[in-house]
């Protein structure tokens, strides 16, 4: 039995071993961080890909190999800060997720959408909804992104903002010529000209059309269309005032306020945790 914490440390004398060829051939090196100089313990860290990311792909067959690899004394699963990601502050705010976690493309898309909404003189609720509408794509999950996104922000924004974010996903598929909204060309490119949205989205759209907040969500889709210029740079601070008035930032930090969605923010802080 180890007598002290010192004895429990994996020994530094174990040299990192070569990744088995089978795992290399399967492309699993993408999920494994080799020991780096910036890792104090020099251990290899394995990232187990989330089920939602690999289900239905060849990667899903290699879970066992990754579990076996973790039994090696120089190898552990990723838990806590991944050195490949910037460290988040102890009490992260919305801005920290935008700057330290979200990829450049979705971040730019969100900021540009909000900027267009502001330039169009729209209500702060619409600007806020535009700023946050694809937050799930930026940091969590792509499928059902409107619903994940609405859930993420619901405790911190006006219910109308959360509703608009949730419904924009369905509304994107259905034109409303009366306000100049057409089916997006991007969706023809992404899904093919013959794609037809499933029944549950049709029902969502029909119900949303009759809702008193319909236009708030529709405006999200209208400002969504013209917001894909990757060369335009928008500073998050441009929206500091809008965020200050429309997003109730918890004092404990997002992820640590005990809200029903705190775990979702923690998942974005430590997206590679094994558990």
Segments in 51-144 forming alpha helices (H): 51-54, 63-69, 94-100, 104-119, 124-132, 135-139
Q: Select 223 or 272, whichever has its Cβ closest to Fe ion.
A: 223
Q: Select 158 or 224, whichever has its Cβ closest to Fe ion.
A: 224
Q: How far apart are CA 191 and CA 171, in angstroms?
A: 16
Least distance in angstroms from the C-beta of 122 to Fe ion: 15
Q: Select 69 or 224, whichever has its Cβ closest to Fe ion.
A: 224
Place of tokens 């694809």: 134
Q: Select 47 or 220, whichever has its Cβ closest to Fe ion.
A: 220
Least distance in angstroms from the C-beta of 225 to Fe ion: 9
Checking DSSP bridges between strand 44-46 and strand 75-77, what pairing results, if any? parallel
Least distance in angstroms from the C-beta of 83 to Fe ion: 31
Q: How far apart are CA 100 and CA 86, in angstroms?
A: 6
Q: Select 69 or 134, whichever has its Cβ closest to Fe ion.
A: 134
Least distance in angstroms from the C-beta of 109 to Fe ion: 6
Q: Select 96 or 166, whichever has its Cβ closest to Fe ion.
A: 166
Least distance in angstroms from the C-beta of 106 to Fe ion: 8
CB 254 within 8 A of CB 97: yes
Footprint on this chain of Fe ion (rule: CB under 5 A): 134, 224
Q: For residue 60, what is the DSSP state?
A: G
CB atoms under 10 Å from CB of 205, counted, come to 19
Least distance in angstroms from the C-beta of 184 to Fe ion: 10
Q: How far apart are CA 245 and CA 164, in angstroms?
A: 18
Cα–Cα distances (Å) from 38 to 5, 93, 185, in that order, read: 22, 26, 45
């Amino acid at each position: 039995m180890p007598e002290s914490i010192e004895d429990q440390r994996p020994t530094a004398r174990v040299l990192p071993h070569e990744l088995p060829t089978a795992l290399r051939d399967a492309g699993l090196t993408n999920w494994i961080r080799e020991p780096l100089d910036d890792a104090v313990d020099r251990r290899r860290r394995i990232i187990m890909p989330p089920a939602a990311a690999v289900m239905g792909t060849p990667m899903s067959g290699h879970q066992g190999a990754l579990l076996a690899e973790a039994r090696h004394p120089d190898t552990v699963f990723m838990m806590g800060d991944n050195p490949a990601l910037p460290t988040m502050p102890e009490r992260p705010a919305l801005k920290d997720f935008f700057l330290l976690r979200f990829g450049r493309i979705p971040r730019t898309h969100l900021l540009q959408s909000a900027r267009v909404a502001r330039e169009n003189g729209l209500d702060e609720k619409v600007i806020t909804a535009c700023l946050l509408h694809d937050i799930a794509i930026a940091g969590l999950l792509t499928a059902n992104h409107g619903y994940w996104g609405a859930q993420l922000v619901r405790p911190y924004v006006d219910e109308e903002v959360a509703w608009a974010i949730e419904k924009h996903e369905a509304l994107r598929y259905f034109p409303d010529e009366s306000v100049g909204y057409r089916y997006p060309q991007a969706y023809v490119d992404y899904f093919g000209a013959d794609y037809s949205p499933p029944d549950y989205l049709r029902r969502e759209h029909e119900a949303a059309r009759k809702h008193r907040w319909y236009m708030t969500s529709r405006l999200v889709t209208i400002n969504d269309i013209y917001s894909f210029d990757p060369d335009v740079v928008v500073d998050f601070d441009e929206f500091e005032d809008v965020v200050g008035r429309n997003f109730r930032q918890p004092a404990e930090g997002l992820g640590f306020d005990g809200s029903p969605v705190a775990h979702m923010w923690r998942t974005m802080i430590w997206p590679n945790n094994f558990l």
